Amino acid sequence: MSFVVPAFVVLYVVASVVLALVMFVAVARWVRLARRRRTERVVAPLRPLLIRLAAADEVDQEAFGALASLPEKQWRVIEPRVFRLLDKVRGLAATAIEGLLVSRGAVTTSVIGARSPSPVKRANAIVRLAALRQREQAGLIEQMLRDADEDVRRAAAIALGKIGRAESVRPLLESVPARRSVSPLVVGDALVRIGHPAVADLIAALSWGCPWQRQLAAEALGRIGTTVAEEALAAAAAGDESENVRAAAARALRKAGTWYAAGPLLDIAKSDPCIRVRCEAILALSEHSGAPVVEPLEIMLGDLEYDIASVAALALTRMGLPGREVLERAAAGNDHWAASHAMEALMAADLDEQLGRRALRRAPA
Amino acid sequence: MIRDAVLWLLVTFDWFVLAYFLAINTSYLVLIGLAIVSFRHHMRRAPSASLEDTYANPLAPSVAILMAAYNEEAGIVEAVRAMLAIRYPAVEVVVIDDGSTDGTLAKLEDVFDLVAVARVLPGRIPSKGRVEQVFESRVAEGLVVVRKENGGRADALNVGVDIARSSLICMVDADSILDPDALLHVVQPFLDDPEKVVASGGVVRVVNDKTVRGGRVVDIHMPYTWLPRIQVVEYLRSFLLGRTGWSRVGALMIVSGAFGLFRRDLLVEFGGLDVDTIGEDAELVMRIHHELRKQRRPYRIVFVSEPVSWTEVPDTTTVLARQRRRWSRGLAEVLWKHRAMMLNPRYGRVGLIGMPYYLVFELLAPLLEVFGALAVALGLWFGVVNVEFALLFAMAAIGYAVIVSVTALAVEEISFHRYENWADLRVAVAAAFFENIGYRQLTAIWRLQGLWAAVRGATPEWGVMTRSGFNVVSAEVRR
Amino acid sequence: MAATVLVADDDPDIRDLLEFKLTHCGYKVFVAADGPSALAAALEHKPDLAVLDIMMPVMSGLDVARALRENVETSAMSILMLTARAQENDVARGFGAGADDYVLKPFSPRELISRIEAILTRVAR
């Protein structure tokens, strides 16, 4: 038997590869630890200045001056910490830190960074523009909802939520079904953050083409909790073709509804083909309609569908004395199924009240 | 004449084994390469994707953490504390006491001030062990304790899935410790792609001889004895990098039972975990692949590589042997049960790449490991191969494997670098050698025994096997 | 005598910021980085007011608040919750656990001081 490559050569190669890898690990570790030590050395004396700047009621000129005139090399080390602190405060503290960052040219570098070929730099630039609350740059960030890189797009959506401009609502919603899309849950969060300025566009979006868009619009309106949208939400809850949208709209009516919605909600609770939608309608009903819905809920307590019975019981605990009376009657009644659901709800409600947990109990998801 | 034929067979087999080892180690390298690509993406993303944004997101799905406990009185309180300390906005912790005969329930009642509550069970997933009582805690909001008759880990988790009210189910082992940010990391795929992601798995890391304070691992270092040390390297190579690679391929077939996240509606639809399988976690993931591919529903199962879950590994050969026999047997069963997917193009990459790979390079590897070395030794004895061949064989089987293990260390170093002391580094490099010289051959024997047990198909003792497998291992691992 | 305040937050930035600010405003300040040490500090020093972060390691601010409310010695202590979760339910949960006030992160240090002053004046009256 003969070999093209003698075995000892292979042995030699294997040994040197292993050795090289071990060396690589050691060097990588050494570099990392050294770099970390250096960062700490720079940061340690500067951090108290930063805290002083954030804590002062009017700009602490001494701290500001010291930080603003740091040599570039040290500044680059501490800049991420400055942004991190900025993320945690509002008001005067934020203004002071923003002032410092602006004086060090952070806006300009971020705008340049947003055009960088590297997706990491683009995403970072967007995060920074949002932290600096650069409303003037919102247009630029909106364009980046269509960036080629998915992380950049997500960062843009989050940033637009933080900046909170009403004009961003449409581009945000449009980014959901786009070919280069943004996760609906991230967009939803941004819409909620924009809050009341978003309401008009969100109501309009309840009749847009893509179910996710309608669902998010409903979801966001519910979290913002504006009763202006009640009529549109009630219509969506009753008539939208997608059950996800109907469920979201019904849920939104918990906060965005008034007594007006009780009628449509009751119909939905009784007859929607989707159980999830019915559950949401029942829970929304319990929020703002009194005695008239107690009776239908009592019937649903005996519904053979577990979710309906369970949610009806939960809803009744939130309806004051009339609800409680129904539950107590059911708990003592002959219908074993309804009785056990009533019992569960009563015990849970008592426990919550005892412990001050205020009826936050979860309905089946 | 016959002698010649046998010797010819021996030589051929020797060459075959050599090629096999080259192939298996190359496949590890390929998986590591794929993992590097994923890590690069992850490292880039880290600075701009803040966990705080996920934490504050009102649309983040609710999660129920399920923990099955059988005679866990020693560690149950600490484990539940850790779960309650998890940073996540909407979390429900369900502990299922699977008919423990020790003070597990008493400990929980004592510390968490449990009160019995009425609870109607939906009963959507059938369970063997009857549910006796449901408790809630007066001190820890969101904690539910279920006391049921003994039915095994899978059965206990099924009851948990049934009773939980969140949209995602997170299954954890009672003896693993989660990082406080664990859920925020592992839920991320569900936030990024809510339509398709049906399951995600977290990586399990080794931390023996650890100090846990308030449910959090406070000092991370290499274990003090060699058996767990070797497993640190093994877990890095095979779980962290291997599964990250498979996730990249789109054929992740095993989500560790120690930390996996699943959509609850799907679990209910598929009837929960299989109570008659040893590797119920792996079986579940395979079933998800099987069903969803068959129904042509688009889906994704994602592996999250952040270090989020810590577990203690066996530090005695007896316990390790039992664990490996069980794993091997479990894998054999799962592959057999889902053999319809094997090489079937309908099942995409899982059927065409994942299944054959697991069969040839996981399940059957110990066979080649043991008999391959034997055959080469025989070949030397009969003089059909020379010393040079033996050396070459050793390089392909062991030298190459050492390269793979050290590469895994290098990747860990540039990515997560969790074991940070210089002393840890020396130990890790040594462990990378011992993993391939001695340890692997040892585990191969146990895996072979597990495989043999599966082939014999000792069905009669099934129920008992599952149960004792669960409790004995987890009870002994703790010590 | 200066009023005493306990600041419990796992984020060192926020801890240091509040400690600096409160000390500057003439309060005596104790700090804690997790739930159990916050509870221990509250029981030991009996501060007039505790600023509790909700998401702290080991034991949440809600649990600390509940424990303080249940203990006779500390049941009258003023509690101010600090959290990043803005949803209605979360706020309700905070008050349910016994908080006197609830401040969202990111917060304004100045506003926080005003709220602390308001609570303490109310209590003193």
**Cα separation, A271 vs B113, whole angstroms:** 42
Q: What is the pTM for the complete model shown?
A: 0.89
Predicted confidence at residue B290, as pLDDT, reads: 94
Strand order in the sheet with B143-148: B114-117, B131-137, B143-148, B91-98, B63-69, B168-173, B259-263, B197-206, B300-311, B176-178
Q: Which helix (H) or strand (E) holds B76?
A: helix B76-84
**Cα separation, A250 vs A236, whole angstroms:** 8
Residue B430, both tokens: 């040594």
Predicted confidence at residue B476, as pLDDT, reads: 29
Give residues with Cβ within 8 angstroms of B109, minimum separation 6.
B135
Contact residues, chain B, for A213 at CB < 8 Å: none
Contact B97, B63 (CB under 8 A): no
Contact B292, B145 (CB under 8 A): no
For A124, A126, A248, the CA distances from A115, given in Å and listed in that order, are 11, 10, 38
Reference A312, options A259, A364, A357; nearest CA is A364
CA distance to partner chain A, nearest, from residue B36 (Å): 15
Is the CB of B58 inside 8 Å of chain C's CB atoms?
yes
DSSP C10-58: S-HHHHHHHHHHHHHTT-EEEEESSHHHHHHHHHHH--SEEEEESS-SS
Q: Which helix (H) or strand (E) holds B318?
A: helix B317-337
Is 50 exceeded by the pLDDT of residue B72? yes
- Regions of chain C where pLDDT drops below 50: none
Share of chain A above pLDDT 70, in %: 95
Contact A88 C11 (CB under 8 A): yes
CA distance to partner chain B, nearest, from residue A151 (Å): 6
Is the CB of B216 inside 8 Å of chain C's CB atoms?
yes
Q: Which residue has the tokens 């083409």?
A: A209
Interval B285-340: pLDDT, tens: 999 999 999 999 999 999 988 877 888 889 899 999 999 999 999 999 999 999 99
**Cα separation, A168 vs A235, whole angstroms:** 25
Interval A135-178: pLDDT, tens: 888 999 999 999 998 889 999 999 999 999 999 999 999 999 88
Q: Which of C36, C60, C87 sits opposite B58 (nearest CB)?
A: C87
**Cα separation, B37 vs B248, whole angstroms:** 9
Is 60 exceeded by the pLDDT of residue B405? yes
- Cα B414 versus chain centre, distance: 24
Whole-number mean pLDDT of chain A? 89
Is 60 exceeded by the pLDDT of residue B252? yes
Predicted confidence at residue B129, as pLDDT, reads: 87
**Cα separation, C117 vs B13, whole angstroms:** 84
Contact B146, B13 (CB under 8 A): no
Is 50 exceeded by the pLDDT of residue B469? no
Share of chain B above pLDDT 70, in %: 93
Write out residues 90-149 of B within 8 Å (CB-CB) of C: 139-141
Contact residues, chain A, for C29 at CB < 8 Å: none
Contact B258, B174 (CB under 8 A): no
Q: How confident is the model at residue B473 (pLDDT cuts 50, 70, 90)?
A: very low
Interval A190-235: pLDDT, tens: 999 999 999 999 999 999 989 999 999 999 999 998 889 999 999 9
Residue B189, both tokens: 């795929």
Reference A109, options A124, A97, A96; nearest CA is A124
For A51, A52, B181, C28, the CA distances from C24, given in Å and listed in that order, are 12, 10, 34, 9
Give residues with Cβ within 8 angstroms of B118, minimum separation 6.
A340, A343, A344, A347, B134
Predicted confidence at residue B2, as pLDDT, reads: 86
| C contact test, residue of B141, B143, B177, B179 with most C CBs within 10 A | B141
Is the CB of A90 inside 8 Å of chain C's CB atoms?
yes
Q: Which of C36, C86, C93 sits opposite B214 (nearest CB)?
A: C36
Q: How confident is the model at residue A4 (pLDDT cuts 50, 70, 90)?
A: low
Is 50 exceeded by the pLDDT of residue B400? yes
Q: How confident is the model at residue A250 (pLDDT cuts 50, 70, 90)?
A: very high
Q: At what angle do helices A7-55 and A91-103 cross, to 10 degrees?
A: 120
**Cα separation, B220 vs A39, whole angstroms:** 22
Our CA angle for A109, A113, A114, nearest 5°, is: 125
Interval B212-246: pLDDT, tens: 666 667 777 888 899 999 999 999 998 889 999 99
**Cα separation, A224 vs A325, whole angstroms:** 33
Q: Which of A26, A150, A343 sits opposite B425 (nearest CB)?
A: A26
- Cα B171 versus chain centre, distance: 12
Q: Which long-range contacts (CB under 8 A, 24 or more apart) does A224-227 make?
A: A224/A192, A224/A195, A224/A196, A224/A198, A224/A199, A224/A256, A225/A255, A225/A256, A225/C88, A226/A196, A226/A199, A226/A256, A227/A256, A227/A257, A227/A258
State how beta strands C78-83 and C101-104 pair: parallel
Q: How confident is the model at residue B251 (pLDDT cuts 50, 70, 90)?
A: confident
**Cα separation, B304 vs B199, whole angstroms:** 11
Q: Which residue has the tokens 């051959």?
A: B441
Burial class (CB in 10 A: 0-12, 13-18, 19+), B455: exposed
Predicted confidence at residue A168, as pLDDT, reads: 94
**Cα separation, B51 vs B183, whole angstroms:** 10
Residue B147, both tokens: 């006391």
Region of A310 (left: φ > 0; alpha: ψ -120 to 50; beta: rest) is alpha
Is 80 exceeded by the pLDDT of residue A73? yes
Greater pLDDT, B467 or A276: A276
For A203, A204, A211, the CA distances from A236, given in Å and listed in that order, are 10, 12, 11
**Cα separation, B85 vs B442, whole angstroms:** 39
Q: What is the DSSP letter of A89?
A: B
Chain C neighbours, 3+ Cβ pairs < 8 A: A, B
Is 80 exceeded by the pLDDT of residue B48? no
Contact C59 B85 (CB under 8 A): yes
Contact C105 A88 (CB under 8 A): yes
Measured torsion, CA atoms of residues A320, A326, A330, A331, in degrees rounded to the nearest 10:
30
CA distance to partner chain C, nearest, from residue B216 (Å): 8
Q: At what angle do helices A306-317 and A336-355 cross, to 10 degrees?
A: 40
Q: For residue C107, what are the β-bridge partners?
A: A89
Contact B140 C36 (CB under 8 A): no
Predicted confidence at residue B51, as pLDDT, reads: 81
Is 60 exceeded by the pLDDT of residue A356? yes
Q: Which helix (H) or strand (E) holds B68?
A: strand B63-69
Predicted confidence at residue A357, as pLDDT, reads: 67
Predicted confidence at residue A22, as pLDDT, reads: 94
For A162, A255, A362, B87, B168, the CA distances from B58, given in Å and listed in that order, are 14, 14, 15, 14, 15
Chain A neighbours, 3+ Cβ pairs < 8 A: B, C
Interval A95-122: pLDDT, tens: 899 999 999 998 999 999 899 998 888 9
Mean of the pLDDT values across residues B117-121?
Answer: 89
Interval B73-98: pLDDT, tens: 888 888 888 888 788 887 899 999 99
Reference B401, options B355, B360, B364, B369; nearest CA is B369
